[in-house]
């Protein structure tokens, strides 16, 4: 028996919108720790890891570890039927081939339940080793989204370079080149508007902009984004989800062959 | 020219 009640149901709606472009089908894993997902895109270039900790739910009952295969576009279709202020409850019985999403309006005058068919998904689970990153950049998520969108109108790839001067996003295409430098800026009114760079050593890596743009679908989840870079390692683009957890996107770099 | 690496190059099956 599984029953997870999320008062801020809009978070789950935003999570689905953030990952459904990247991943079609995925297993949601439910355990005492929380509600989680790990999935790769179909090209095995990017990986998404989601965690919603059990403490973030108003009610969290998960009698035994359960893995539920879902088509994310179908799940998003159902969650779009929930109001932004609705409380969402996810329910499943042991051994059932369906999951139920229950939506309650804030004043309890409308209660809806949507039952969705589960699917068997043979997914690989990758071990993500702890890494010391050469550079960690924290910046406003909207600013990062703007940069990725702007650069993708010029080129297909972005070179992200971190030096003590700041973080530089560069691209080149048929019509020309573009460079955007963001300097560290801690003297802002609100901490979420700051750009903070922690650099152990300079790093420069090349990534496909198509994936970066896809990651920015998570922008509504968090005011800030953290970009962690190390030479020859996948970049980690992390959006924290309120007090509940995170979505982390890993993207393999383009490398010399 | 650079080639796109796949994620399994860095993270192994667990």
Taking CB atoms and an 8 Å limit, are B3 and A206 in contact across chains? Answer: no
Q: pLDDT exceeding 70 applies to what percent of chain A?
A: 100
Give B8's DSSP letter.
Answer: G
CA distance A89 to A84: 14
Q: What is the pLDDT of residue A95?
A: 86
Residue A241: exposure state from Cβ atoms within 10 A (0-12, 13-18, ≥19): buried
Q: What is the pLDDT of residue A24?
A: 96
pLDDT surpassing 90 at residue B9:
yes
Identify whether the C-beta of residue A147 lies closer than 8 Å to the C-beta of residue A179.
no
Pairing verdict, β A59-62 and A2-6: antiparallel
pLDDT surpassing 90 at residue A106:
yes
Q: What is the pLDDT of residue A176?
A: 98
Instruction: Give the model's confidence band at A232: pLDDT under 50 very low, under 70 low, under 90 confident, else very high.
Output: confident
Across the range A39-63, mean pLDDT stands at 97
pLDDT digit string, tens, across residues A141-172:
999 999 999 999 999 999 999 998 899 999 99
- Give the SS3 label for residue A192: helix
Q: What is the pLDDT of residue A164?
A: 87
CA distance A185 to A79: 38
Residue A213: exposure state from Cβ atoms within 10 A (0-12, 13-18, ≥19): middle
Closest CA to A18 of A87, A98, A72, A91: A72
Chain A residues touching residue B2 (CB < 8 angstroms): 157, 206, 254-257
Residue-averaged pLDDT of chain A: 96
Q: What is the pLDDT of residue B12?
A: 86
Identify whether the C-beta of residue A105 lies closer than 8 Å to the C-beta of residue A81.
no
Which two three-digit tokens encode residue A200?
Answer: 């152990």
Identify whether the C-beta of residue A2 lies closer than 8 Å to the C-beta of residue A67.
no
pLDDT surpassing 90 at residue A101:
yes
Q: What is the pLDDT of residue A37?
A: 97
* Residues β-bridged to residue A27: A69
Q: Work out the minimum CA distance from A224 to partner chain B, whole angstroms.
A: 25
Contacts of A243 (CB under 8 A, 6+ apart): A56
Across the range A67-85, mean pLDDT stands at 96
CA distance A157 to A128: 24
Across the range A55-63, mean pLDDT stands at 96
pLDDT surpassing 80 at residue B1:
no
Closest CA to A221 of A12, A47, A4, A5: A12
Q: What is the pLDDT of residue B13?
A: 82
Across the range A178-202, mean pLDDT stands at 94
Q: What is the pLDDT of residue A72?
A: 97
Q: Work out the minimum CA distance from A44 to partner chain B, whole angstroms.
A: 6
pLDDT digit string, tens, across residues A191-210:
999 999 999 999 999 999 99
pLDDT surpassing 80 at residue B14:
no
CB atoms within 10 A of CB A38: 23
CA distance A155 to A254: 14
Q: What is the pLDDT of residue A124?
A: 83
- Top residue of A41, A42, A48, A128 to mutate, by most chain B CBs within 10 Å, is A128
What ipTM is given for this predicted complex? 0.95
Q: Work out the minimum CA distance from A257 to partner chain B, whole angstroms.
A: 6
Instruction: Report the interhelical angle of A72-79 vs A10-19 (nearest 10°).
Output: 150
Q: What is the pLDDT of residue A148?
A: 98
Identify whether the C-beta of residue A54 lies closer than 8 Å to the C-beta of residue A60.
yes
């Amino acid at each position: 028996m599984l029953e997870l009640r999320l008062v801020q149901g809009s978070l789950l709606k935003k999570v689905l919108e953030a990952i459904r472009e990247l991943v079609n089908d995925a297993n949601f894993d439910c355990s005492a720790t929380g509600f989680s997902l790990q999935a790769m895109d179909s090209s095995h270039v990017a990986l998404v890891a989601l965690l919603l900790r059990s403490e973030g739910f108003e009610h969290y009952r998960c009698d035994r570890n359960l893995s539920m295969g879902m088509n994310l576009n179908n799940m998003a279709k159902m969650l779009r039927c929930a109001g932004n202020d609705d409380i969402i409850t996810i329910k499943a019985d042991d051994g059932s081939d369906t999951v139920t999403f229950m939506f309650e309006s804030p004043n309890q005058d409308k209660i809806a339940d949507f039952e969705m068919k589960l699917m068997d998904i043979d997914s690989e689970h990758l071990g993500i080793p702890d890494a010391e990153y050469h550079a960690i950049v924290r910046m406003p998520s909207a600013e990062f989204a703007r940069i990725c969108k702007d650069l993708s109108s010029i080129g297909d790839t972005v070179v992200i370079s971190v030096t003590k001067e700041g973080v530089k996003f560069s691209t080149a295409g048929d019509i020309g080149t573009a460079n955007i430098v963001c300097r560290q800026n801690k003297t802002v009114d609100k901490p979420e508007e700051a750009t903070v760079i922690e650099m152990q050593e300079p790093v420069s890596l090349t990534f496909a902009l198509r994936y970066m743009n896809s990651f920015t679908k998570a922008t509504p989840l968090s005011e800030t984004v953290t970009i962690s870079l190390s030479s020859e390692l996948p970049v980690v683009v992390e959006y924290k989800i309120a007090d509940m957890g995170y979505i982390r996107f890993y993207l393999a770099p383009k490398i010399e062959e | 020219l650079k080639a796109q690496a796949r994620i399994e190059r860095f993270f192994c099956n667990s």
